[in-house]
Structures are given as structure tokens and as C-alpha cells.
Amino acid sequence: MEPSWPQSEIVLRLVDQHLLQRAAQAPVFLGRYYEVLSSFDTYLEHTAPRMGAQDMGAGDLVAYFCAEYGLHESVRIYSGGLGVLAGEHCKTASDLRLPFVAVGLLYRAGYFSQQIDAEGRQVAQFMESPLDHLPIKAVLRDDGAPVTAAVLISSRHVQARVWEMQAGMYASFCSTPRY
């Protein structure tokens, strides 16, 4: 199986190797796999603006700022309703072919997973997502140095590194703040 998106090895790394080998030999799975790839390639080929997007001028760009985005469960930068809604806005913008960029935060530990202990109490389990396991890439300057942004928050200088994630037709930019 040849992955069609640049960081698919990240996802494949998380799947049991024996399961992948069986899937690679299963005609039903392979048929569905190629059907999905073809459908996604067709989606990406149609770049003409739709429903009102054609009214935007050359160089116009919609910037959508949100604290969380529910783009996919493997990218834990959302906790619920707001993130899911923001993810739907991104999907719709992609479907309409709007010139669009989403800007948010990249949480290293993401949100927590909830479990109930033996005494019936909720226990939060934080799972750190190593950056090299996420479908993101560092945004670099021409000289190869990472792009950063300096922000003053409550009299503290915060340096944020900029990361890019392709979601649908357009990119999303996230930052990882460092105090």
C-alpha cells in the first residue's frame, strides 16, 4: 500500500504490524482503500470556488482563530463542542474552496481521557502526543530556522513556535507556546 499523504507513516506506526500485513493482502480492504484514495484525490482536484467563495478577491484570506479544533481524533487539540464546531467550520471552508487558514494552539498533552476508578471517581489521564507522531510539520524560514512569534501575556514574554497541518484544501497553523 502506498500512502497518499505525506505523514501517513505516523498513523501507520500506531497500527499493529501484523494487522497491516493482513490488510495489505485482503482484497476487500484494498478495494475500499483505493476507493477512498480515489475519492479524496477527486476532492482535491476540484479547486474552483463554490457558493459565494467566488466573490472573494484575489489575495483575500479568511483567518479563523479558535483555542481548539476537532479535525481528527488523532490530533488531540479539542475537548468537545467548541472544537468539533471549529473543525466543522474548517471542513465547510475546504468544501467551499474558501481561501482559509485556521489558527490555534497545539497542546502537547492534548486533552485528557476520562476513566472511572474502583471507587466511582473520575480520573483524568493526560496522554502526551510526541510531535513526531502528529500530522504536522514545522514552519521554517528561508534559512531553515523555525518560525516563531513573540507575544506578551500578563507581563510575560511567550515564544510560540509555528506548526502547519494540512486539513482538507487548506492549512491550519498551530503554535506551541513556551514561557
Give residue 64's domain range: 53-178
pLDDT reported for residue 93: 86
Q: What is the 3-state secondary structure (H, E, C) of the chain?
A: CCCCCCCHHHHHHCCCHHHHHHHHHCHHHHHHHHHHHHHHHHHHHCCCCCCCHHHCCCCCCEEEECCCCCCCCCCCCCCCHHHHHHHHHHHHHHHHCCCEEEEEECCCCCCEEEEECCCCCEEEEECCCCHHHCCCEECECCCCCECEEEEEECCEEEEEEEEEEEECCEEEEEEEEEC
Same domain membership, residue 130 and residue 77: yes
Same domain membership, residue 41 and residue 83: no
pLDDT reported for residue 3: 41
Same domain membership, residue 73 and residue 142: yes
Same domain membership, residue 67 and residue 36: no
Spatial separation of the C-alpha atoms in residues 136 and 32, rounded to whole Å = 26
Same domain membership, residue 158 and residue 78: yes
Same domain membership, residue 115 and residue 35: no
Spatial separation of the C-alpha atoms in residues 28 and 88, rounded to whole Å = 30
Task: Count the domains in the chain.
Answer: 2
pLDDT reported for residue 176: 62
pLDDT reported for residue 6: 46
Same domain membership, residue 150 and residue 66: yes
pLDDT reported for residue 120: 92
Burial 122-142 (b: 16+ CB within 10 A, else e): eeeeeeebeeeebbbeebeee
Spatial separation of the C-alpha atoms in residues 134 and 76, rounded to whole Å = 9
Dihedral sign for Cα 91, 81, 164, 73, please: negative
Same domain membership, residue 167 and residue 91: yes
Same domain membership, residue 79 and residue 20: no
Same domain membership, residue 95 and residue 132: yes
* 10-residue stretch averages of pLDDT, the chain, 179 residues long: 48 78 90 88 75 76 88 77 89 85 80 83 80 82 92 87 81 60
Same domain membership, residue 145 and residue 91: yes
Which residue type occupies 73? E
Same domain membership, residue 29 and residue 78: no
pLDDT reported for residue 173: 66
